[in-house]
């Protein structure tokens, strides 16, 4: 069934025939109809399955806040690295790309992503930044906005280094590419400097 996702990502929903996915799987076309009855149902099932898996991966990446207040730069570097690793995970990258390409034609897909994946991860992130700020490690007056900046920087860095986001599916970059690591550290550095206490207030 990962094969179906792969095909939907590579060719899009409209251009992917059930014969294609049958050829890519050990079952035949009729078996697919027996199980799902419908191309649309198959598609939604594929989305649903990988959505759950992706949520699990993202949860693991973002739910590691230590009990003791960490050094913000060290901790945020680790966090950024875990988020990046999730973004570059083949399944996540494929799912994001698929939601991106089919989302405009299927608004409920975007909504599913937002409700089931983005929202919980988002609030976890906001909570962590709020804790860092509350502990005095960072000067943040609006954790939600700061989370937006953090995600924009991490996401943008990965985006800019992977050919507009499509690269990750076809040529997954090495996680330990030193250029990627340096870019990520630089982005986190900017974030930490910009929210360091002792600066002008973070407006």
Question: Which of DNA, a second copy, none interacts with 197 (beta carbon under 5 to 8 A by kind)?
Answer: none
- 64 binding a second copy? (CB under 8 A): no
- 39 binding DNA? (CB under 7 A): yes
Q: Which two tokens stand for residue 39?
A: 């191309």
Question: Which of a second copy, DNA, none interacts with 103 (beta carbon under 5 to 8 A by kind)?
Answer: a second copy
- 31 binding DNA? (CB under 7 A): yes
Closest distance of CB 131 from a second copy, Å: 19
DSSP string, the chain: -HHHHHHHHHHHHHH--HHHHHHHSSS-HHHHHHHHSSHHHHHHHHHHHHHHHHHHHHHHHH----SSPPPHHHHHHHHHHHHHHHHHSHHHHHHHHHHHHHGGG-HHHHHHHIIIIIHHHHHHHHHHHHHHHHTTSS--S-HHHHHHHHHHHHHHHHHHHTGGGTHHHHSPPPTT-HHHHHHHHHHHHHHHHHT-TTSS---
Q: Which is nearer to a second copy, 26 or 203 (CB)?
A: 203
Question: Which of a second copy, DNA, none interacts with 200 (beta carbon under 5 to 8 A by kind)?
Answer: a second copy
Closest distance of CB 148 from a second copy, Å: 5
Rounded distance, CA 108 to CA 69, Å?
Answer: 39
- Site map for a second copy, 100-139, x if CB under 8 A? xx-xxx-x--x---x-------------------------
Among 12, 28, 123, 141, binds DNA (CB under 7 A): 28
Q: Which is nearer to DNA, 34 or 186 (CB)?
A: 34
- Site for DNA, rule CB under 7 A: 16-19, 26-31, 33-35, 37-40
């Amino acid at each position: 069934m990962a094969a179906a996702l792969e095909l939907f990502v590579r060719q899009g929903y409209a251009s992917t025939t059930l014969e294609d996915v049958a050829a890519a799987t050990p079952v035949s076309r009729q078996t697919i109809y027996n199980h799902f009855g419908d191309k649309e149902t198959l598609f939604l099932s594929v989305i649903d399955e990988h959505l759950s898996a992706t949520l699990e991966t993202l949860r693991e990446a973002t739910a590691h806040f230590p009990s003791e207040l960490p050094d913000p730069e060290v901790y945020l570097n680790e966090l950024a690295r875990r988020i990046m690793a999730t973004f570059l995970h083949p399944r996540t990258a494929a799912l994001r790309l698929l939601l991106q390409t089919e989302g405009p034609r299927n608004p409920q897909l975007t909504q599913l992503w937002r409700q089931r994946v983005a929202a919980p991860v988002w609030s976890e992130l906001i909570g962590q930044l709020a804790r860092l700020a509350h502990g005095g490690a960072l000067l943040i007056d609006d954790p939600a906005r700061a989370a937006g900046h953090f995600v924009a920087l991490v996401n943008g860095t990965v985006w800019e280094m992977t050919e507009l986001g499509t690269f990750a599916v076809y040529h997954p970059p090495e996680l330990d590419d030193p250029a990627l690591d340096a870019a990520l550290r630089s982005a986190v550095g900017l974030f930490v400097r910009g929210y360091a206490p002792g600066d002008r207030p973070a407006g």
